[in-house]
Structure 1
Amino acid sequence: MPYRVLILSPDAHDVGILRQALGNARDSPFILEDAATLADGLRRIQGGHIDAILVDLQLPDSQGLAGFDRLYAAARHTPILTLCGLDNEAHAVEAVQRGAQGWLPKGFFDNYLVPQSLRNIIERMKVERGLYVAQARAEITLNSIGDAVVSVDMLGRVDYLNVAAELVCGWSREDARGRPVAEVIDLVDADSGHTIISPADEILHTDQPATLSGNAILVSRQGRRVPIEDSAAPIHDWDRQLVGAVMVFRDISDTVALTAKMRHLAQHDFLTNLPNRALLNDRITQAIAISRRNNTAPALLFLDLDKFKHVNDSMGHAVGDRLLHAVSQRLVACVRTSDTVSRHGGDEFVILLANERRARDAAAAADKILLALSAPFVIDSHELHTSTSIGISTFPLDGTDAATLIKNADTAMYHAKDLGRNNYQFFRQDMNTRAVERQLIETSLRQALERGEFTLYYQPKIDLQTDCITGVEALLRWEHPEWGLVMPERFVSIAEECGLIVPIGRWVLSQACAQLVRWRDIGILDISVAVNISAVEFRHRDFFAHALAIFDATGVDPAQIQLELTESVLMHDVAASALLLGKFKAMGLQIAVDDFGTGYSSLSYLNEFPIDVLKIDQSFVKAIESGTGAGRNGAIVSAVIDMGKNLHQRVIAEGVEDVAQLAFLKDHKCNEGQGFLFSHPVNAAQMQAMLGNGWPG
């Protein structure tokens, strides 16, 4: 059945391009009509039988959003897309907020996706017309049938309870129907005992979704007190009028202990159980605040184990991890309970001496640590010897905030290494070696793009059920003429700080797309390429426009591109992130959350964004085999896999290095794996050979 589309535009050229683009569409042809003024368009709309409207916001008798509002009032149930130039996308965005289904940028009318997108929008609107009210009720209640569900009418009277709600509240559906929701759902604050207003009542006044605080207690009809977790949402009719509210809640008595454990994990290192960077920063800030009142001088000790890499390389990561755990125990034994021992990452530790008054007190602690770590460690019958280099910074001489104190202690630690290791050094202002290196890297980075020193390596992703390669991740490498192959951890943060990450990121995306096209041209199909997007790049105002230009220039199929972003990048500005991801999603791109589980503890964003893939952080995968931590972190991995299944998202495990991890992931039906067990990152030629021959499994 053809679709009848009305084009409202005074620009004959634009109308002609749209007629050509839509007139050539196959399968579902369009019947096109056009009008040059809003008045003519409104008269045509009154005649009915219009399936979609494409409107230029600059009409002779209507300028901007006022005209859109009139058009929307006349055709509120007809899909409307605005036609806009790149210089007035702000109006297009606001039009979407007022009811438009989207917009078409001028200059892209002839894109092959335009007919497909228009058909999808029209069909979606047709479905929504018949199912709107039923879907609102079914989506909130039927999909949560395992939880307690209560709905109310506009007077706040209960009109529905499911079986789970009857059990929790102690009310039968017949007894509860028609009663005020506050009587059936009796809520109090766990700490104060004060009555909490029902979220359903709140929604009837605000017409906005609501949730309960984490301390909500439901008092049942029989007096039983049940801690609950709640969400509530308004119910609207087709005309967007509020007709009631629905509450979905569950008994969380059995999850309180798990929540406490997860909170602990968010602030502690999984391997050593020491405070992590986030908790350390909080404690440093607290120590500084207290020192101003108590006239103390907090000190930081930044430790790096000498020759730890040799242990990892010669005896394996499992032994290295056990050594780190043993070191952490000795460090804790060297300090007071008021001090903080933190694992900073890798083989680096930071110790906060919170209540010091003199510099020699920090020196005494450093001497004690050097002595403690000089004794051999016995691990799996191996006698291991290590030492440490320590840098010391003190407040306020060497910094007045956590970041500065850590940075200066780090600088002093490198100076201690330069002086022969196994010693400590206090920070001095002339210790600028790392600053000089940073400047050198920045200068070289500015020339690297022009000289063609960057290259991409690729690491395959393996379907764990079929053992086939499903895609690859593009990984940036810097082939410096003097330094050799430079890994990203040495230069990416500097590139972000000085703004070079944006042009470098464009180069990476362009090269990855071009390589994908080259593979397609020689018959390597059905392969996706994942590209990491940094925070600075994602937030750049022209990121979408430049990505679109790259896709057009290379001829790549956007459906074969996967953008990888971390949780923290997405959560920086939820609304802006959702809008931008929606635009990419409309083009067919896949969206992946990288390092999943290491960022925000709230999982609500999983429903805010169009996410296709969750990548389990390699720290959780690595911990599957790590002693007593295996059960705990294995549970986290399996929970993420189950979560992905329930949300219809693919789950990829990063950092798979041994067969025990692989067996665990396969047993729990993880979709894909990536890591050294399958392949190290390789250059494009090696990856091409692997794609051509297939991974041997």
Structure 2
Amino acid sequence: MPLGFLKSTREPSRSATEGQAGERRARPERTAVLGEVEELGVGMFWATDEAGNLSFLSQRAITELGDTSGELIGQPITRVFSDVEPEAGAPAQRSLAFKMKARSRLEEQIVAVPDGRGSTRWWRLNARPLIDAAGTFKGYRGSAVDISSQYAYETQVARQSQVDELTGLANRRKLNERLTAMLAAFRVSQRSCALMMLDLDRFKQVNDTMGHPAGDELLKQVAERLKSIVKDSGEVGRLGGDEFQVLLPDMDDRGTLGELANRIVQSLSQPYQINGRRAIIGTSVGIAIAPYDGLEADELTGAADMALYSAKETRGGTFCFFTSELREAASKTAMLGDRLRDAVDRDELKLAYQPLVDPVTNEVKCFEALLRWHDSEEGDISPAQFIPVAENDDLIIRIGEMALRQACMDALAWPETIKVAVNVSAKQFVRPGYRKAVAAALDASGLSPGRLELEITESVFAGDLETVDAIFRDLKKLGVRLALDDFGTGYSSLGYLKHGHFDKIKIDQSFVRGCTENGDINPAIITAIVALAKALGMETVAEGVEAMDELNLVRERGADLVQGYIYSRPLTQDQVTQQFAEGSVIFRPSGPPRHRAERITIFRKVGLIHEDHYYDVILRNLSKTGARITGLAGVPVGTDVVLDLGHGQLVVSKVVNATENSQGLHFETPLISDGCGGFMTRHRISPYSLAEAGIPLAALGAGAFPLAKWREANKTVPKFVQLELSVPNA
């Protein structure tokens, strides 16, 4: 029998008896009040026993839960009330089971409950543990309020603040919060993460020609492609407009990152179907890696942005890793734009002509017009530097029209069998009135349309293909020839070849360089392109041929024409006309017998480590497999050294040839492409390792090396003589 019902050995006093009677009369009244409170919608009531099983549910709670048979009484409360699934922006809270096990008070605990009709509602629980006079836990006594409408609204608002409404991806705010939190946590655990910034190429063209609804649909498809590529490796988000971001934790292998970026570029460059119409865009990718390129979110984002800008400047449709040199390059680019405008106004840009030669007869069939700029202060400035600057605004339109007019005029002085090829930028090509500009250049010069070839890169297909096709048809009606330049390197698709617009395909030099090396698959690619072109009635040109073994290979594989240093560097108009005046249309091949690994001429200070000494040297040129340095004397062939390229890029090397003050190095592990025409190591020494070696992270800069302290504590006599260094103008 419950202790409360035991009779006392003493007779109760009159006042005690009256109190008990009053309590019994008050019980029905309290029950009625609770019922009225429920009816008013103020709340519901529940209780558990000491084991956490439901022991009481008020009538409205029973109704809301659909428990007319009383089956829930006796069930564990954690089975009836479920913790809310994490949602972007939802309030963070400990689980119900955790709090009940700890016998904590429940305050504003949000739970999901079944409504008895197959749906879910949300309740807010408040409760306290019941402890009797002896200190024994007797269970929970609590209330519940249905907050479904409020919770759904707040969750939606929180989600909208974290999620891009159009694509469903994380938005800028969430990405920044995620990156900030990740970098803070990773600094403690000394982990790395990579950040990719993406910008769609030619997206504006889709919006302008197909409408904003089509642009929205395109962005949704881009988001789906990105998610399918990245999968669980990272988090994809949209920053706004046509900008996307990919956050990749625990990834610093630049080879792997480059492969992922390349897959993204190739995937996003494939055609899209939008409301029954085809569109092609592309993307450029900038990559930065923490902790190498930044330790804070704004640092890493800025670095990735700078790499993205470099990728777009290079040619678009590619990727680029951040390097410290990009900061200086960005400043130079701004100044270069001002100087370029002045140069155009002063008519300082000139044309040079490189021959396209029949590899069987060595007869020239065509010359490609190439822009050249000699600046009075800077000297010769490469088109690879100034063309991307010009393409950032309408300056490329002026330059392109100038080049077209001049090339037509110059070609008129050549034999009638020789054609002239002129490059056309995508911005120039899709500009309204381009056909009229071509017709005007032909009329002004008197050149036959059949002698003019317009070289167009695959980037012109980015956007609305119907508009592009219409431009092609207009140009063909003029009688000019069309060549597809750099085939296979941009927005590659065989679909646009079947329309028959092109007369010629130019095989990009990236497929020619190194095609004679053992195991290289480029010969098979060259063969396939030549076969495809012949099947479609098109000529083929192999670009960038420099060595005799490359010439022999492309000739054997059936290339109709060859262009490259093997025949000639670009010539001035005077040099071209002089050769024709002498009655010669022959260009004899001349070059090294075998292809040599591509080398980049560089003049900058780097480090060389031998045993326990750190030397300063000048890097003269660099390839994937080796380098040449100057600045040391007395270095014998066969010496094992480590080349420090800066920012933790250490390359184990061997001296394979040497002069009095110059050494040729062969790398134990080849470098990889940085996506922008340079080379880099696949892995780097972490700044955390540098810090452990005694170098503060804040002091890290170009050339930093974990054993730089050797300078101060040499253990042996230096083996080599350090020469005085001066960096010549490149």
Larger radius of gyration: 2
**TM-score normalised by the chain length of structure 2:** 0.40
Higher relative contact order (CA 8 A, sep 6+): 2
**TM-score normalised by the chain length of structure 1:** 0.42
